[in-house]
Amino acid sequence: MKDSINVLISENDLQKRIKELAEEIKKDYEGEEVVFVSVLKGAVFFTVDLMKNYDGDCMIDVVRVSSYVGENSTGKIELKIPLKKEHIENKNIIIVEDIVDTGRTFNYLVKYVNEMHPKSVKSCVMLDKPSRRVEEFNPDYTGFQVEDLFVVGYGLDYDEKYRNLPYIGYIKN
Ligand code: 5GP
């Protein structure tokens, strides 16, 4: 049977907020080049729209980690696609993620990127679920804060489904 999805953040609200985030980042990096490091696979949609709205010098790179099985986090982070040191060293890095939940993935990634001696590192997330934090982590740029719901759409999946939804929703039980 097909799951029924409730809309939490509409496509319109998402796109409006992404434009604001891109403008905010642009102001902070005036005259500097930035590298958006997109965390595969979930952050792909967000990264693309963020970059399309970013009116400044920028590049894209990708990294892939995994930490989730179904709805339950295993707590273990595995690096599946690494970054190349020459793409990070001495650059302004913005790690772009779909959602911060426990905070484990971001803390892992910030540490990992810092080992490659960037010029600076910041974090940008589409969604933040602060009530679920296990490790302390405060993103530099946040799209929306959400309550403790398992959300899907706009890159976020449930067992690889629903990434293609243009909005953020949650599965109605
Ligand atoms: P953290 O390491 O902060 O616990 O988890 C980050 C990762 O968990 C995200 O990149 C995402 O893949 C997954 N995740 C956390 N909450 C949700 C959620 O509500 N929906 C989906 N689809 N994935 C989530």
Residues 63-78, mean pLDDT to the nearest whole number? 73
Query: Does residue 9 sit in helix, strand or coil?
Result: strand
| Whether residue 102 has its Cβ less than 6 Å from ligand 1 | yes
Q: Is the CB of 69 within 6 Å of ligand 1?
A: no
| C-beta separation of 112 from 130 below 8 A | no
> 53: Cβ below 6 Å to ligand 1?
no
For 89-138, the three-class secondary structure string (H helix, E strand, C coil) is CCCEEEEEEEEECCCHHHHHHHHHHHCCCCCEEEEEEEEECHHHCCCCCC
The catalytic residues are 101
Atom of ligand 1 nearest to the CA of 129: 16
- How many domains does the chain divide into? 1
For residue 7, what is the domain's CATH number? Answer: 3.40.50.2020
172 or 13, higher pLDDT:
13
Half-sphere exposure of 64 (CA within 13 A, CB side): 6
Residue 72 binned pLDDT confidence (cut-offs 50, 70, 90)? low
Residue in the structure block whose two tokens are 């810092």: 114
Residue 73, pLDDT > 60, answer no
Range of the domain at 84: 2-171
Burial tier of 132 (Cβ tally within 10 Å: 0-12, 13-18, 19+) = middle
**Cα 49 to Cα 161: distance, rounded to the nearest angstrom:** 20
Q: What is the average pLDDT across 136-140? A: 97
Q: 2 pLDDT band (50/70/90 cuts)?
A: low
Average confidence score pLDDT of the chain:
94
**Burial class of residue 82, CB neighbours in 10 A (0-12, 13-18, 19+):** exposed
> Per-residue pLDDT for 75 more than 90?
no
